Structure 1
Amino acid sequence: MTQTTDKPNPKHQSTFMQRFKKKNIGWLFIILSVLGISLFYFYPMAQALILSLQSGMGANLEFVGLDNYVRLFNDPTFITALTNTVIYLLIQVPLMIVLALIFSVLLNDPTLKFKGFFRTAIFLPAVTSLVAYAVIFKYLFGNNGLINDFLVDLNIIAEPLNWLSDPLLAKITIVIAITWRWTGYNMIFYLSALQNVDKALYEAAKIDGATAIQQFFFITIPLLKPIILFTSIVSTIGTLQLFDEVMNITSGGPGNATMTISMYIYNLSFEYTPDFGYAATVSYVILILVILLSFIQFKVAGDRD
C-alpha cells in the first residue's frame, strides 16, 4: 500500500508571491510617509479636537462639552478678530490674484527686455524673512517714515498720516504688506503655466482682430483657470492663518482693530491667562472656514471633480 503526500507546488507558490508583491509592494514605499503624516498631522488634529472640548487655566482642564463653541458667539474679541480676518481675505486675496495675473502676462511678453530682472524683483519678497520685512514696513509707515515723507513732498497730504494708530489705515497697511510679499509667489505659478500655452492661439486671435484685453479675458484666464483656483485656495488658507505681519507691524492694534484669528489664538495661549481648550476651539474655526471657503471656490470655479 502506497501513501501519497501533498507537496507544495513551486509554480503555485511563485504565483502567490507575485500577487502578494504586486498588491503590497507599494505600501513599503509609502508606509513611512503614512506613519509620519498620521503622527504629526492627524494625531495633533484629533488631540486638538479633544482639547477644544475642555476648559480651564493652564494644564488644569476639565471636560465642558460644547461650551467653548457656544462661548465663541458671545466673545466680542473673537468676533472682532474674525471680522478683521474676513476683511483681509475679501480685499487682499482678489487684489493679489489680479496683480499676479497682470504681472505674469506682462513678463511673458517675448519682446520685453530684462525679463529675468523684473521676474526676480517681483518674486524676491516671497523669500524675504517674514519678521524682517514686517519690521521694515513698520518703519516705512511710521509717523516719520518714508511713506509719509514721500506723500508730504508730493503735496498729496498736508501732514503725516497715522498709518499704525488709525484703525482703517492700519488695516490698509497690513493689506499692502501681505500683497507686496505674496503677489510674486502667485505670479510664478501663472508665469509657469503661460510657458505651456500654445502661441498659435494668440496669433489666431490677433488675426481675428482680438485686442490684448480680449485675449487676456478669453484666452489667458480660461487656460489658467485650474492654476487660479489653486492659488486662490492656497492664498485663502494663508490669509486665514495670518499672524506674522499683524504681530510685528501693529501688534493687533490700535485696540483690536487689526487682530486676526491666529493672533487671538496666540494671545489666548500665551498672553492672556492660558486657556488652551478655548484656544483649540478658536483654531478649529480656521479649519471650518478653510473647508467651507475651499468648497465655495470649487463650486464657483465649476470644478465638478
Structure 2
Amino acid sequence: MKTRKRISKGFLTSKNAPYFFIGPALIFILVFTIYPVISSFILSFQEVRGVEKTFVGLSNYTRLFHDPIFYKALLNTFEILIFQVPIMIAFSLLIAVGLNSSLVKFKSFFRIAYFMPAITALVAASIVFMILLDEHFGLVNYFLSSIGMNPIHWFTSPFWAKVSIILVMTWRWTGYNMVIFLAGLQNIPNELYEAASIDGAGKVKQFFMITIPQLKPVFIFTVVMSTIGTLQLFDEPYILTKGGPNSATMTITLYLFQTGFKYFEFGYASAIAYVLVFIIGIVSWIQMKWVGDLEE
C-alpha cells in the first residue's frame, strides 16, 4: 500500500499532473465535439442508405445549387435576420439606457423582468404565444376585433407567420442583450458626460456622441452573436409553424433537420450544415470588418 501511495503521489507532483486533471475534460471534448465535427464533415461527401455509406464526392454540395427549397430556406432566414436583429438590438439598447438612468426606481426588479424570457423554457413560451396569436380564440385577435380591426392570420399567412417568429425571438432575446448593453453603459466614465454637459451638449447629443461610440465593442459582440443565433434559427419555427405555410418560415437549420431526421438523407444534411457554417463565418467576418472600419 505504501508503494502505491508513493507512486500515485509521485505522479501527481510530476510534470504530468496537469494532464491527469484535464484529461477527462479533454476526452469529453474529443468524443462529443471534435469527433462529431470530423465525422459529419466526412459524411457530407457520402450518401447513406441504411447502414451503407457510399462516397459521392461533391455531389451533395452541387445538389444545393439546384435545390429550390434550400434557396427558399436561405431567403427566409436572411429576411428574418435583416428585420429581427436591428429591432432587437435597438430595443435592448433603449431599455438598457432607461434602466441605467437615475430616474428609474426598482431597477433590480425591471432587470430581472426583462431578462426572464431568456431563461424561460422555449416550449412553454411558444405555447403562450400560440395561445396569444391563435387566429380564432387568441387574445391578440380578440383585442383587435374589439377595436374594429380584422383578425390577423398569424400562422396561415406567409407574411404574418414571419412576423410571429420575429415577435417571439425579439421577446425572448431582448432582455439578454439588454444586460450586455447595461454592463457596457456602466463602464462608461461619468466624467465624459459631465464634460459634455459643461460644453452645453444635451442628452440626445451625449447619446450619439458619447454613448454610441463607447459601446462599439458591445455592438460588435451583440450583433455578431445575434446574427449567428438567427442564422441557426430552429426552435421557434419548428414549434410554432413547422416551417409553413408553404415553406414561408422554413429556415436553413429546420430544413437541415427535416432532411436528416425526416427523410434520412444524412449526407446531404451534413453538406447543408457545412454550407451554413461557411455562411456564418463570412457574414460574421463582414460584420466585424465593417464595424472595424467604422472605428478607424
One fold, TM greater than 0.5?
yes
Q: 1:35 to 1:118 in 2, by over 3 A?
A: same
Does residue 186 of structure 2 align to residue 169 of structure 1?
A: no
Does residue 197 of structure 2 align to residue 206 of structure 1?
A: yes
Q: CA deviation at 1:242?
A: 0.9
Q: Partner letter of residue 146 of structure 1?
A: L
DSSP 3-state at the match of 1:302: helix
Q: CA deviation at 1:166?
A: 0.3
Q: Partner letter of residue 120 of structure 2?
A: T
- Between 1:35-44 and 1:293-302, the stretch displaced more is 35-44
Match of 2:107?
Answer: 115
Q: 1:42 to 1:200 in 2, by over 3 A?
A: same
CA distance in 2, matches of 1:249, 1:69: 30
Q: 5+ residue gaps in structure 2?
A: 1-13
Match of 1:187?
Answer: 178
Q: CA deviation at 1:177?
A: 0.6
CA distance in 1, matches of 2:58, 2:250: 25
What does 1:1-305 align with in structure 2 at a 5 Å threshold? Answer: 30-143=22-135, 144-155=137-148, 157=149, 159-271=150-262, 273-302=263-292
Q: Which has the larger radius of gyration?
A: 1
DSSP 3-state at the match of 1:161: coil
CA distance in 1, matches of 2:220, 2:271: 29
Q: CA deviation at 1:46?
A: 1.0
Identity of counterpart residues, as a percentage? 48
- Between 1:62-71 and 1:212-221, the stretch displaced more is 212-221
TM-score by length of 1: 0.86
CA distance in 2, matches of 1:118, 1:134: 23
TM-score by length of 2: 0.89
CA distance in 2, matches of 1:113, 1:132: 30
Q: CA deviation at 1:228?
A: 1.4
Number of aligned residue pairs: give it: 280
**Contact 1:141–1:163 at 8 Å: present in 2 too?**
yes
**Contact 1:58–1:275 at 8 Å: present in 2 too?**
no
Q: Partner letter of residue 284 of structure 1?
A: Y
CA distance in 2, matches of 1:232, 1:58: 42
Match of 2:9?
Answer: none
DSSP 3-state at the match of 1:56: strand
- Between 1:209-218 and 1:247-256, the stretch displaced more is 209-218
Q: 5+ residue gaps in structure 1?
A: 1-19
CA distance in 1, matches of 2:283, 2:50: 33
DSSP 3-state at the match of 2:52: coil
Q: Partner letter of residue 95 of structure 2?
A: F
Q: Partner letter of residue 44 of structure 1?
A: P
CA distance in 2, matches of 1:67, 1:285: 13
Q: CA deviation at 1:33?
A: 4.0
CA distance in 1, matches of 2:98, 2:40: 45
